[in-house]
Amino acid sequence: MLPLRRLSAACRRRGLAQFATGIPREAADAVVVGAGAVGLAVARALAMAGRDVVMVEAASSFGTGTSSRNSEVIHAGIYYPPRSLKANLCVRGREMLYKYCTERAIPHKRLGKLIVATGVAETAKLDMLLKSAKDNGVDDLQMMEGSQAMEMEPELRCLKALLSPSTGIVDSHSFMLSLLADAENLGATISYNTAVISGRVGDEGIELHISESKELENHSIGSPVLPQIVLLPKLLINAAGLSAIPLAKRLDGLAQAFVPPAYYARGCYFTLSQTKSPFSHLIYPLPEDGGIGVHVTLDLNGLVKFGPDVEWLDGKMDDMSCFLNRFDYSVNPTRCSGFYSVIRKYFPNLKDCSLEPGYSGIRPKLSGPGQRPSDFVIQGEDVHSIPGLVNLFGIESPGLTSSLAIGEHIVSRYNNT
């Protein structure tokens, strides 16, 4: 029970322990559930603001979910409705992320991105994206004729394109490692292999019921999992990513009207087997249902990746398996057949059999197939009337880009609890 011992010891060092008969009960100042990019950024921001922070992570390390299974793109803030959280936090987060990476020598590159229209019917959509971007404060986009874009990228084929100079890529692992180091240097504590299994709002405020993750591994569906420790935080940040909604549903006292339905979309990536990259910029088609299209991403080692596609999952996973991140991340090699036709619209020289299975990621969504894309939900007492509870729902892309801004936002709005 090393993780829970560390958790108890962290609370005792702060003079916060409360022992009672049976299950230990420990008071805590601020608890962040989930150690992905957003959870780490929030923990760091709270620690910088003087809070005693405990991070609780069900996995054996940080950033094992959505944060490590994405395109690692620093987004400019183009696609999102004006004045939405996604728009505001992406634009602010992009500025903060470039500054943070530069100051700490975290590997990143401002490569730029071309959003391309390959058919006549798509060109008007580029005009709409340009207007949306300007409304969001992204004022460095350049509309190009196809000939100009193809001069920049000879392997590209398109009728028109939008150039986004401020789009880039980042080493997400190095970024998260730096966030963790910052938080720990400020006194924050992290407990791995530690799962929040339920909670309640009682006379003492919020109670978090916590168990070692291994206790969940062999449980039978429908059988109760008993907590090994109860935390009593003044401030609780539910940044559990894929399991944020299942966790909120298990908080007794939180009206379920405030918990949105969860949708999950798997996105697969395929890598280009040839060694030399055909592109020097990121190449994006126009957005599709559930995503922003199968695009070309370059990593910092020059590897070319195509993806992600969109595969809606049935969402029937039980809560405990969700807490343990037991999603199916396998990449079906046959899915690449659908990639070739899509990619050849803008990269006609893509050779047969040149795509190899890469990896996949799961996106926590608040809207399903055919529905309008949802905004981030950052939900505090002003919404659900529970002091000290902040839920983060639907933090998909551009969550990585927005992470530092999300931390800043939470401190500015909810640090008075």
Q: What percent of the chain has pLDDT over 90?
A: 85
The residue to which tokens 């949105």 are assigned: 260
Token reading at 186? 């400020």
Q: Could you give the number of structural domains in the chain?
A: 1
Q: What are 321-348's pLDDT values in tens digits?
A: 899 999 999 999 999 999 999 999 999 9
Task: Give the whole-number percent of the chain exceeding pLDDT 70.
Answer: 93
Would you say residue 16 has pLDDT above 50?
no
| 25: number of Cβ within 10 Å | 18
**Considering the domain boundaries, does residue 187 fall inside one?**
yes
**Tokens 């019917």, located at residue:** 121
Tell me, what CATH number does 249's domain have?
3.50.50.60
Residue 254: per-residue pLDDT: 97
**386 is a domain residue:** yes
Containing domain of residue 34, as a range? 25-68+174-260+374-415
Give the CA-trace dihedral at 400, 405, 407, 413, to 10 degrees.
-140
* Beta-strand relationship, 142-145 and 160-164: antiparallel
Alpha-carbon distance of 311 to 307, in angstroms, equals: 12
Burial class (CB in 10 A: 0-12, 13-18, 19+), 123: middle
What are the tokens at 299?
Answer: 């990593």
- For residues 196 and 210, the answer to whether their CB atoms sit within 8 Å is yes
Residue 404 lies in a domain: yes
Name the burial class of residue 177, with classes exposed (0-12), middle (13-18) and buried (19+) by CB atoms within 10 angstroms of its CB. middle
The pLDDT of residue 21 is above 60:
no
Grouping H, G, I as helix, E, B as strand and the rest as coil, residue 187 is coil
Q: Give the range among 3-12, 94-103, 126-135, 340-349 with minimum mean pLDDT.
A: 3-12
Q: Which of 90-99, 215-224, 383-392 has the lowest mean pLDDT?
A: 215-224
For the ranges 230-244, 286-300, 346-360, the lowest mean pLDDT is seen at: 286-300
> Of 58-62, 172-176, 199-203, 384-388, which range is least confident?
199-203
Residue 76 forms part of a structural domain: no
For the chain, how long is the longest CA-to-CA vector? 75
Q: What span, in angstroms and rounded, lies between the C-alpha atoms of 65 and 59?
A: 9
Q: Could you tell me if residue 151 is inside a domain?
A: no
CA separation for the pair 389, 155 (Å, rounded)? 51
Residue 7: per-residue pLDDT: 66
pLDDT digits (tens, 9 = 90+) for 222-254: 677 889 999 999 999 999 999 999 999 999 999
Residue 8 has pLDDT above 70, yes or no: no
- Asked whether residue 230 is domain-assigned, the answer is yes
> What pLDDT is stored for residue 22 in this prediction?
80
Q: 186-217 pLDDT, tens per residue?
A: 999 999 999 999 999 988 799 999 999 999 88
CA distance 417 to 415: 6
Mapping DSSP onto H, E and C, the string for 145-214 reads: EHHHHHHHCCCCCCCEEEEECCCEEECHHHHHHHHHHHHHHCCCEEECCEEEEEEEEECCEEEEEEEECH
Q: How confident is the model at residue 287 (pLDDT cuts 50, 70, 90)?
A: confident
Contact indicator for 219, 198 with CB cutoff of 8 Å: no
Query: Residue 1: pLDDT band by 50, 70, 90 thresholds?
Result: very low
Minimal CA–CA distance to 11: which of 59, 65, 53? 53
| Residue 60 placed within a domain | yes
pLDDT value at residue 363: 96
Residue 11 has pLDDT above 50, yes or no: yes
Give the C-alpha separation, 320 to 222, whole Å: 10
pLDDT digits (tens, 9 = 90+) for 394-410: 999 999 999 999 999 99
- Rg over alpha carbons for the chain, rounded to the nearest Å, is 22
Phi (first) and psi of residue 248, to 5 degrees: -60, -35
Measuring CA to CA, how many Å separate 274 from each of 332, 334, 353? 21, 19, 10
Alpha-carbon separation of residue 170 from 183, 243, 401 (angstroms) = 20, 25, 9
Closest CA to 40 of 100, 82, 122: 100
Does residue 207 belong to any structural domain of this protein? yes
Of 9 and 75, which is predicted with more confidence? 75
**Higher per-residue confidence, 281 vs 314:** 281
**Cut 0.75: pTM above it:** yes
**Taking 50 as the threshold, does the pLDDT of residue 316 lie above it?**
yes
Contact 284/295 with Cβ under 8 angstroms?
A: yes
Residues 127-167: tens digit of each pLDDT? 999 999 999 999 999 999 999 999 999 999 999 999 999 99
Given a contact cutoff of 8 angstroms between Cβ atoms, the answer to whether 32 and 230 are in contact is no
pLDDT digits (tens, 9 = 90+) for 369-382: 999 999 999 999 99
Nearest to 194 by CA among 62, 391, 326: 62
Residue 13 has pLDDT above 70, yes or no: no
**What average pLDDT does the segment 352-364 reach?**
96
